[in-house]
Amino acid sequence: MTNLTLKNYQNILFPYAYNILGSVEDAKDAIQDVLIKHLSINKDHIENDIGYLVKSVINQSINIKKRRSKITSNRLWLPEPLSTETADNNIDSEEIISYSILVLLEKLTASERAVFILKEAFDYPHKDIAKTIDITIENSRKLLSRGKTKLANYQTTNLSYSAPLPSYMESYIQTIKNGDMKRLEKMLSEDISLHADGGENIKVVRELTVGKSASLKLLFYVYKTYLELLSIKITQINHQPALLFYNKDILINCQVFDFENNKIKSIFSIVDPNKLKLLF
């Protein structure tokens, strides 16, 4: 396997691993483990290298996700953000699931998540899903049905995202800077939710805030207390509009926005340094 072939394999495998794990670092680890093992085994029985590697990476990712879920079960956990604005050109960013969907998929078990992703994102038939993760076709159908039931409150199964114009984000920034509560109130949906993940070492003001009134107060408080002196960059994370807050060259906070009917429905705030180190 040449270096070029190895890189091509990594690029093909990455969306499968990342969508299941919600972590860039874990996805790369899963792929590396599979490729190292693949290099050391007898391949006479393997008819399709890519098919074999995809199956191996998917199952490795499911096992890692099961272990990670046990570790993070006592706190709010947000996926590691991935830039789709400056993504590696060799990775098909269209196969990367939107950030809001990745957050929702945390409601599913690792197996439900894998089946949902293979069916909805990669358009696998149940026959191929069953073969890939070594279950029956009937079990695949049940896992998909169970997963969709858990996500029933979400109105669409569309895994892509249509972002508002950058001017909207510029308007949001100016509104926050000006402390214009009335204007910001008009930009928020009634049932807006704010989610914050500081990881193991950073204590956030509040992990989850729901409702317009409480969210307004918290947004202005966090900006005035922690973000006012930082520089701000508008970008795209997992196909959704996002703000990056920098202290000089150090990324402090990534905020990913979800919109519905031209109103801000959710803001996902990542301040865990371990999840920010691969963003620029």
Dump pLDDT digits (tens) for 242-272: 999 999 999 999 999 999 988 999 999 999 9
- Please name the residues in contact with 142: beta carbons below 8 A apart, sequence gap of 6 or more: none
Supply φ then ψ for residue 241, to 5 degrees. Answer: -65, 145
Q: What is residue 157's predicted lDDT score, i.e. its pLDDT?
A: 45
CATH number of domain containing 268: 3.10.450.50
Q: Identity (one letter) of the amino acid at 74? A: N
Measure the CA–CA gap between 129 and 135, rounded to whole angstroms: 8
Dump pLDDT digits (tens) for 17-58: 999 999 999 999 999 999 999 888 877 787 888 899 999 999
If you average pLDDT over residues 214-228, what whole number do you get? 97
Which residue carries 């959710």 as its tokens?
A: 266
The CB density around residue 144, as the number of other CB atoms within 10 Å, is 18
Residues 127 and 195 in one domain: no
Residues 88 and 17 in one domain: yes
If you average pLDDT over residues 145-172, what whole number do you get? 76
Classified as helix, coil or strand, 183 is helix
Residue 111 placed within a domain: yes
By the 8 A CB rule, do 262 and 198 touch? Answer: no
- Per-residue pLDDT band for 163 (boundaries 50, 70, 90) equals low
Residues 83 and 194 in one domain: no
Domain boundary, last residue among 90, 124, 150: 150
Residue 161 placed within a domain: no
Residues 16 and 145 in one domain: yes
Tokens of 253: 């906070």
CA-wise closest residue to 274 among 32, 79, 137: 79
Domain boundary, last residue among 150, 177, 208: 150
Domain boundary, last residue among 124, 150, 176: 150
Measure the CA–CA gap between 53 and 59, rounded to whole angstroms: 10
Residues 115 and 215 in one domain: no
Residue 160 placed within a domain: no
The CB density around residue 146, as the number of other CB atoms within 10 Å, is 16
Domain residues for 17?
3-150
- Per-residue pLDDT band for 72 (boundaries 50, 70, 90) equals low
Percent of the chain with pLDDT over 90: 75
Residue 158 placed within a domain: no
Supply φ then ψ for residue 275, to 5 degrees. Answer: -95, -5
Residues 98 and 234 in one domain: no
Our count of domains for the chain comes to 2
Residues 199 and 254 in one domain: yes
Measure the CA–CA gap between 270 and 64, rounded to whole angstroms: 22
Residue 221 placed within a domain: yes
Dump pLDDT digits (tens) for 73-103: 678 999 999 999 865 656 778 899 999 999 9
Residue 155 placed within a domain: no
Residues 76 and 123 in one domain: yes
DSSP 198-237: -TTT---S-SEEESHHHHHHHHHHHIIIIITTSEEEEEEE
By the 8 A CB rule, do 232 and 177 touch? Answer: no
Residue 159 placed within a domain: no
